[in-house]
Structure 1
Amino acid sequence: MARSLDGLVLSPVADQAPGQVGTRTRFTYHEEDGRIWAEYAGGDVVRGHLVGTREGDRIDFRYVQLKTDRTTSSGHCVSLVVDLPDGRVRLDETWEWESQDGSGTSVVEELPVP
């Protein structure tokens, strides 16, 4: 199993469509006894939260966010936790909106420690 996500800050490696998370979005993760949660913000997202569970290297969570245009959206995501060769963590994500049309994949990675 990959290491704990607790206290890690991750960011997408590429921008998604306008109004979604992007390279300026920062996710601060927490993990305790198989429970996962995070706060995120940046770019078009004013505030977002995710909550879910982790079993081994698989994370299953729901997310909700407030965007700069004052609209909200929510969805579901399943992620695979991958340890990178340099010691950082990557999440390979498959997501779909529940509040609107759309689905896709994305990659978020732990930010390097300065």
Structure 2
Amino acid sequence: MNRSGRLLCALYLATSGGLAWTTVLAFRGGPLWAAFLCAAASLVPVIAVVRETLIRDLRAAAARPRRPVRSAAEEIVREELDAACCERWWTSLGTDHDMACPHRVPRSSAA
């Protein structure tokens, strides 16, 4: 986390502490609805700290280069896709080939 992120987290936690203290004072002698409102408000900065740390983790994960791990099924599918001749062969279930396909077999006139 950079400097500004740490400063923001410190401010969030200070704000949460101040609101928690206000909650205690409201429970002691203030109206009950104000105490519950301050208690709920003191949780918001804590959520912000969690969000900041999550953003930091996501940025760190995005900065690391990841090599995709392929399963055996993915390898088989990749080999089959690489072995395909042309698009028409796939769409016609292996009966036709494109005109530029090197595997094109001339059709016979025999029925």
Provide the TM-score with structure 2 as the length reference: 0.14
Structure number having the greater strand percentage: 1
Provide the TM-score with structure 1 as the length reference: 0.14
Structure number having the greater helix percentage: 2
